[in-house]
Amino acid sequence: MSMQRRALMLAGVAAAGTARAQSFATRPIRMIVPFPPGGAVDVVARMLTAPLSELLGQPVVVETRPGAGATIGAAAVATAPPDGHTILFTSAALASAAAVVANPGYDAIRDLAPLSLLGAVPLVLTASLSLGVDDMAGLLAAARARPGAITYASPGNGTPIHLAMELLKREAGIDLLHVPYRGSPVADVLAG
């Protein structure tokens, strides 16, 4: 095949892709965030709405659907019409949801398609000053002295924070009480 003919075929394929992309966003895009407003996932999602709106030529609107380890929001996307106008912006919590929620209302493998990994968020362990510890050794000593009396909060059962803390409990041989929230527990943690 001649070079000119290959170039012509490539141009045709590129033009078809462009024509298809132009007909995609025919109305506003719903970006479902399966966590409450104000949490890290919600904040990042809202930061992306302006550039996505410009790219797609349609408004991108964030809609929060918190609860059940991200499965409520994921179910809303999984059961939406499969036209690309409803997308899910979530964390790694979705990966463990099937193990935590008996019937999430969808099959993540069959009903959802991963689009992109947009970033990674480090986990940071903090404690209220009222606990009287200022490092990990102090926390472990306090937990061993008062088994089950120290609580820790997470954004919900099966979330990465919950699983990381359960791993810490197992590896350190300590007993902490899990307090699952429907989203970020920052305000209550800071209040003690």
For residues 104 and 110, what is the distance between their CA atoms, to the nearest angstrom? 13
How many C-beta atoms surround the C-beta of residue 41 within 10 A? Answer: 23
pLDDT surpassing 80 at residue 1: no
pTM for this prediction? 0.72
Q: Which of 10-19, 82-91, 135-144, 148-157 has the lowest mean pLDDT?
A: 10-19
Confidence at residue 131, expressed as pLDDT on a 0 to 100 scale: 94
Q: Which of 6-10, 44-48, 150-154, 170-174 has the lowest mean pLDDT?
A: 6-10
What value does the mean pLDDT take over residues 73-98? 91
Domains recognised in the chain with CATH numbers: 3-111 (3.40.190.150), 129-191 (3.40.190.10)
The angle formed by the CA atoms of residues 134, 139 and 140, to the nearest 5 degrees, is 145
| Residue pair 77/112 in contact by the 8 Å Cβ criterion | yes
Confidence at residue 84, expressed as pLDDT on a 0 to 100 scale: 92
Closest CA to 73 of 183, 186, 185, 188: 183
Confidence at residue 17, expressed as pLDDT on a 0 to 100 scale: 52
Q: What residue ranges in 24-131 does DSSP mark as E strands?
A: 29-33, 60-64, 86-88
Q: Give first-to-last CA distance, the chain, whole Å.
A: 72
- pLDDT top residue among 92 and 26: 26
3-state SS class at 13: helix
Q: What residue ranges in 19-59 does DSSP mark as E strands?
A: 29-33
For residues 126 and 129, what is the distance between their CA atoms, to the nearest angstrom? 9
- Output the furthest CA–CA distance in the chain (Å, rounded): 79
Confidence at residue 175, expressed as pLDDT on a 0 to 100 scale: 98
- Give residue-wise pLDDT tens across range 31-44: 999 988 988 889 99
For residues 30 and 157, what is the distance between their CA atoms, to the nearest angstrom? 26
Confidence of residue 20 (pLDDT cuts 50, 70, 90): low
Closest CA to 152 of 121, 188, 183: 188
* Residue 118 CB contacts under 8 Å (≥ 6 apart), including other chains: 44, 48
